[in-house]
Amino acid sequence: MTHKENNFTPEYFYDILETDTEEKMRIEALRLVINSARKFINMGSLTRLWNLVKNFHPSEIASLMEHLIEREKLILLNTLYEKEKDKATEVLREVDPEDAAVLVEKLPIDQIVDLFQMANELIEVFRYSRNSLE
């Protein structure tokens, strides 16, 4: 058998190395974001925390939150709420439901009411846009 029959071509190894490198870079980037978020939270630098995550998709912020302790999650959620309430609502929708319940339970009542009202408005907008497409 030749190398081509075994798929052991140089291109095969290059693809493996490239995928491995991309995965390592992704993991390193996530590690950097987690460490930076923790550093900014511990420093009390919420503006820097906001600047770190403001361009992230809500699902990316939810993924970040999976790696934070409860106190850090709550600080991040409060920062999102203060800067962009819609994003805070969307992040809560992306977070594991049990985690979301624990976080919401610890928020001030006015924030809870506000977030639930916004979530209901988002649901209504979605329903309207979905119905108008039919």
Question: What residue ranges define each of the domains in the chain, with the CATH number in brackets?
Answer: 10-133 (1.25.60)
What local confidence, expressed as pLDDT, does residue 8 receive?
A: 55
What local confidence, expressed as pLDDT, does residue 3 receive?
A: 42
Return the axis-axis angle of helices 85-94 and 70-83, rounded to nearest 10°: 140
Using only C-alpha atoms, what is the Rg of the chain?
A: 21
Which of the pair, 46 or 2, is modelled with greater confidence? 46
Please state the rounded mean pLDDT for residues 38-45. 96
What local confidence, expressed as pLDDT, does residue 101 receive?
A: 85
Q: Are 88 and 56 spatial neighbours (Cβ–Cβ below 8 Å)?
A: no
Please state the rounded mean pLDDT for residues 89-103. 88
Q: Are 68 and 42 spatial neighbours (Cβ–Cβ below 8 Å)?
A: no
What local confidence, expressed as pLDDT, does residue 1 receive?
A: 42
What local confidence, expressed as pLDDT, does residue 27 receive?
A: 81
What local confidence, expressed as pLDDT, does residue 97 receive?
A: 85
The pLDDT confidence band at residue 18, using thresholds 50, 70 and 90, is low
What local confidence, expressed as pLDDT, does residue 24 receive?
A: 78
Residues 70-86: pLDDT tens digits?
A: 999 999 999 999 999 88
Check pLDDT > 50 for residue 122: yes
What local confidence, expressed as pLDDT, does residue 2 receive?
A: 43
